[in-house]
A and B are shown apart, each in its own frame.
Chain A
């Protein structure tokens, strides 16, 4: 009867989906059984005891305690079974293992944003490794949303002002559809995301080089993205105003004076060094306050920043 399950449910792709499916199919068969059982009884009664003459009399049966006990107790036992079965599955999906990869999910009208432990952010695309527990820590920036992965049989509301959690271990490499299931306005039905369940190798590549979107992005745009998302913008302006650090505008190819009194030309190696070991050269008149981005930026992202600065003439 697997075809019937596969007709009704998307393919289960997370570790606990099997148990949910088992219970789901049990109640499906129960529903079908009782529908035909009740329907059969009604059909039989109508055929057998259809009124044939107006004067027919019927037996005066007011109740039958034994019979009524039977049809109270049997349903009670069945629903208690379903309760415990459902409770068991719920508990399993409740507490995430300690070694889960923690990803922060932000819902806002009408996009999903994911932030990985290394600070990488993606929009509407979530990469997770197969067979590794993943914990999503979710919150909303505006109204209530709900994060639903049918293939994982998982759903949890994403609420402003508090964190909700969801964890899973994906068991099948491939794509999973994510829906928003709490009505959130005009774009509700387009608030979709895709989970890419990667093989360990694919996930390595993703961690190293970013997702496909980032990999295919022109360097300059990537650099702009890094500038906006990784905190550069807090201190470095792009319009020439002086901030905590020098502005990026028009510095490419020019010479700056370091705190040590020497002149440095702003070119690729200089920028690279400034990102990875910022204290090596500090421009005169600025405090040595910039943190290192060693390990936080990918090689291609550094190249992107260089290209971006180059473009700010």
Chain B
């Protein structure tokens, strides 16, 4: 994609150490401002919490193997699913792609040396750690049993570590905002010379849209959570019906953030897929502008649909109709993207490496996740399905299935760039298959459990639902097997020598111009754009001005 201008001459010069070893030592990592190191530390943190959240999920599934008590009491179960939700949402899904992969890849993709505010970036990581410790230490206060949505007045009347958990989410919001501010400033000011907005890789568009949501929505969540803490500590009255407040107001405030936050979880996933599919189809992306604008559209429309979480919460007929109508519009940009990706594969030269397998995995899971959203956007069917297992399954398809497979796609895609090592691609294919089968085996039955009427957050259930719960629990074991296998071969690859080539997949974006792993300042000199991001022609026409002089 570019010619890098070396200031050190060509052959013969001493090779630069890669960023993993320059400089060495734990302290150098903890005080680093290098976006790649911060991205990696984010990634290991996210993976750790993914393990925690995943183990909690396995326990939940085990409990649901039988009605009534299987392995724990109702109180323990309620604390468990709350912690599972909070850990997965705030510590895994939201930071997974932007903060881990985005931090690592975005500056490389833009041909920059770093993000705009490297120190802010490091601060974001430390704030993330503080928030994470706060969230987990609620266990010492007896846990939290509110569900991750903290609905009032339950959350203002129950005991345990609710205030600490809510403050943890507040603190984590800052980490999210810092990342968002950083990404927007980076994309605005640090693109490589001659890289116009429409020569940016689509990953950058996805990160940009995500950052817009992070900046516009997170503060509202922040103030909502502060109000909740104030309600608990001072009894300010805003969410308390007995004091003249309104408990449903909390839901409006909460979803004004948390619905856009759903797109914080899916837009980055789409961003990764938009990189992976052209590379492994060896073909330019189909409908670049449509994909770019649909990301921005989703980000903005996402702010107008929050109340579709509240169709049965006693809102007016008119409001329900408006929010349902707007919600349907958000389906369109998602559909456009899916068809564009398939069209990119059409007449391509498709190589089924692990990242591509995960991308296909994503396309299938996201199709189900997206289409099942139609049931919930539509007013009359939502009344039946709201807060049942159907919803649980739907949001796991989108937030967990789609986000997770895209995260894995991205991790497999940039793994050689991150560590300079290749993993075992045969094991990767098996792992991907297990994840696909396991995920669907876990969550497909839950659609039926839900449409038959079983509500979510149920410790005990009627015996008629048991067959499908057993199927779901068995599915969770397959999924876990796939993920443990993935963890095993990825970790094993780190023991090998750094033999990965700079551009193992034949990608055409700037990060493949850097070494694998890159040097601390990414490129030897400043890369200058020579062609568009997905241009696979033999002699591509240069874009932008012909000469930088």
Q: Complex Cα distance A67/B286, Å?
A: 11
Q: How far is the CB of A45 from chain B (nearest CB, A)?
A: 4
The CA of A42 and the CA of B360, in the complex, are separated in Å by 8
Tell me, yes or no, whether B154 is within 8 Å of chain A by CB: yes
B544 sits at the interface (CB 8 A): no
CA distance A180 to B345 in the complex (A): 47
Contact assessment for A60 and B537 in the assembled complex, using a CB-CB cutoff below 8 Å? yes
Taking a contact as CB atoms under 8 Å apart, the answer to whether A35 and B367 are in contact is yes
Question: Do residues A189 and B461 form an inter-chain contact, with CB atoms below 8 A?
Answer: yes
Measured in the bound complex, the distance between the Cα atoms of B350 and A49 in whole Å is 6
Closest CB-CB distance, A5 to chain B, in whole Å? 10
List of A residues within 8 angstroms of B247 by Cβ: 144, 159-161
Determine how close the nearest CB of chain A comes to the CB of B204; give it in whole angstroms. Answer: 18
Cα A63 to Cα B339 in complex, Å, equals 12
Tell me, yes or no, whether B158 is within 8 Å of chain A by CB: yes
Q: For B379, what are the chain A residues with a Cβ–Cβ distance below 8 Å? A: 86-87, 89-90
Specify which chain A residues have a CB less than 8 angstroms from the CB of B387 in the assembled complex.
Answer: 146, 148, 155, 181-182
User: Would you list which residues of chain B between 497 and 549 have a CB under 8 Å from chain A?
Assistant: 535-538
A83–B324 contact, CB under 8 A? Answer: yes
B16 near A: Cβ within 8 Å? no
Cβ–Cβ < 8 Å partners of B145 in chain A? 185-186
B455 within 8 A of A: yes
Chain A 128-168 interface residues, beta-carbon cutoff 8 Å to B: 142-144, 146, 148, 150-151, 153-157, 159-162, 164
- Complex contact A60–B536 (CB within 8 A): yes
Render A217-254 as a binary contact track against B, CB cut-off 8 A, 1 for contact. 00000000000000000000000000000000000000
Interface window among A20-28, A287-295, A299-307: A20-28
- Chain A residues with CB below 8 A from B325, complex form: 83
Whether B457 and A34, one on each chain, are in contact in the complex, defined by CB atoms closer than 8 angstroms, is no
- Closest Cβ of chain A to B171, distance in Å, is 24
Number of interface residues, chain A, beta carbon within 8 A: 83
Chain B residues whose C-beta falls within 8 Å of the C-beta of A159 in the assembled complex: 241, 247-248, 313-314
A7 at the binding interface (Cβ < 8 Å) = yes
Contact B283 A148 (CB under 8 A): no
What mask results when residues 349 to 393 of chain B are scored 1 for a CB within 8 Å of chain A, else 0?
A: 111100000001001100110011011011111111011100000
Q: Which of A16, A41, A42, A59 touches B283 (beta carbons < 8 Å)?
A: A59
Which of A68-76, A113-121, A259-267, A278-286 binds B? A68-76
B493 within 8 A of A: no
What is the 8 Å Cβ interface bit string for chain B, positions 403-429, against chain A (1 contact, 0 not)?
A: 000000000000000000000000000
State whether A85 and B460 are in contact (beta carbons under 8 Å apart), knowing that A91-B317, A156-B314, A180-B455 are contacts in the complex: no
Q: Taking the complex as formed, is A9 at the interface, i.e. its CB lies under 8 A from any CB of chain B?
A: yes
Answer yes or no: B141 CB below 8 A from chain A CBs.
no
Whether a CB of chain B sits under 8 angstroms from the CB of A50 is yes
Which residues does chain A contribute within 8 Å of B352, judged by CB atoms? 46, 50
Collect the chain A residues with CB atoms within 8 Å of residue B451's CB: 8-9, 24
Report the minimum CB–CB distance from A270 to chain B (whole Å): 44
A181-B455, A183-B456, A189-B74 known; 4 new pairs, CB 8 Å cut-off, are A10-B453, A41-B342, A60-B536, A89-B379
